[in-house]
Structure 1
């Protein structure tokens, strides 16, 4: 009996791996805000995040590293590039956690950034859904007619606006399960929100898949926690080790030929968090 259970679990795992790597059909962008420190309400964590959409699965992550790569490519490709470039960078750090959600098999893959989105590891996580209550209230967001839905999840009361004009049952973060794409979400205290920032379909010949990027390393949950503890306790040692692996230079920049300076924009939020997104298990 145990052998049959093990075989079934392996088959499910293989099926999930194959299915979760389906092609990206479209992507929806959000402006994320989080009041992580209630003693400093004036400055919130902010980031542009994206959910890549497949037919049956989704991938949520930060978009900030992609924006940095776009800047690098554009500036280094310019005819007048002299080896010096200035990158515009937000003072707020990027979202480090990503999630692949596959409802048909009730599977979730957690992608944990340690020091940055490109220094990341993945592991299987518990599948979590929301018990949505759909109302008749409507409004328009980004030209799409949206309907209101509410739920309580992880200790917060959320209000979401979704549109059946975009038939994807996904949204930002872990939120999904409505009969249309979630375009906007706020919690009742306005401490956490994802506001619609754009939607676009992918060309049929694109190669994006619902899967972690190639730089993401599979690991156990305990190993991920150990790495985060190592970074917190001794940042210098962690970054030295990271540099030795080559993962500290994800864009493969030749610093003997390129000098980078940063134009930091906005105010930096608190580095302390007394108000996490998840207030309850």
Structure 2
């Protein structure tokens, strides 16, 4: 099965944040599901996502790439590593992330194309929540529910005041506690709680990624189309990124090499990419999302 170069690059590229904002003090994980094709209601796009938190804002992004990076590191550091990486694809990492800045009342969407990040300033989302009064326990936290209609969908969210963050998954926020679970009333968009962790390293910030390029949605669309038409040419056109990536004729194998230089650095951080001889990617037979999207998350502007 053939996979795009963007997926391979996503696996090999580490996410790093700027240090302009206050450090993140916690993160909440979600299992994200989206029935993107209304003709196949039993199939859905799946992703592990995470929201980094502090009292001033939140950064929601895919965590599936991080999991794949961890698997790459585990295999490469194993005593029996022979140069061949094997990854099973069980999710579809989203290319969009969202930074909510409550102090400045603004939101920024970050769209990833290969290893490049593009920032698109957008209006700050707001939701008018109605408290419903029901209670239940999620992940050991006492939660209560609330309802809102946003972007054409009605969402039921479960939040806990035991975690005093007024944020949650995606663009949902504004409740007097952290949203642990949110889903629309048709169960077509689901953010299910998958864990909460404190962050004490002082290195992870609620901020835009490093070297992000601020632009417009129209320009990003052109860039995405150019990359889709010719990934290799796109990568060669990126100045300062000293790497060569080729996809083998078998479709599911890529040979990844990185040349020396001070440009982009190693795409796998401290790991030595020269040790990688081949990259085999298989797909979980149980994960078969539709390639057609006629049921977007946002049904209205």
Aligned equivalents of 2:232 and 2:291: distance in 1? 18
> 1:93: Cα distance to partner?
1.9
Aligned equivalents of 1:201 and 1:126: distance in 2? 29
If the length of structure 1 is used for normalisation, what is the TM-score? 0.84
Q: What secondary structure sits across from 1:85 in the alignment?
A: strand
Q: What secondary structure sits across from 1:74 in the alignment?
A: helix
> 1:263: Cα distance to partner?
3.3
Q: Give unpaired runs (5+ residues) of structure 2.
A: 1-17, 246-255, 257-266
Aligned equivalents of 1:123 and 1:143: distance in 2? 37
Aligned equivalents of 1:43 and 1:135: distance in 2? 30
Aligned residue in 2 for 1:258:
277
Aligned residue in 2 for 1:199:
196
> 1:20: Cα distance to partner?
6.4
Q: Deviations over 1:154-209 (max 9, x none)?
A: 00000000000111100000000100000000101111010000000012x33001
Aligned equivalents of 1:275 and 1:255: distance in 2? 42
- CA 1:74–1:215: 2 relative to 1, 3 Å: farther
Report matched runs for 1:38-117 at 5 Å. Answer: 38-90=38-90, 92-114=91-113
Q: Deviations over 1:12-41 (max 9, x none)?
A: xxxxxx996110100000000000001112
Aligned equivalents of 1:229 and 1:269: distance in 2? 22
> 1:256: Cα distance to partner?
6.5
Aligned-residue CA RMSD in angstroms?
2.2
> 1:109: Cα distance to partner?
1.0
Q: Is residue 275 of structure 1 aligned with residue 295 of structure 2? A: yes
Paired residues in the alignment total: 257
Q: What secondary structure sits across from 1:105 in the alignment?
A: coil
Aligned residue in 2 for 1:242:
235
Higher mean displacement: 41-50 or 263-272 = 263-272
Kept in 2, the 8 Å contact 1:158–1:185? The answer is: yes
Kept in 2, the 8 Å contact 1:20–1:57? The answer is: no
Kept in 1, the 8 Å contact 2:226–2:234? The answer is: no
Aligned residue in 2 for 1:136:
133
If the length of structure 2 is used for normalisation, what is the TM-score? 0.79
Consecutive aligned runs of 4 or more in structure 1 exceeding 2 Å deviation:
212-222, 228-231, 242-258
> 1:244: Cα distance to partner?
4.4
Aligned equivalents of 1:25 and 1:244: distance in 2? 38
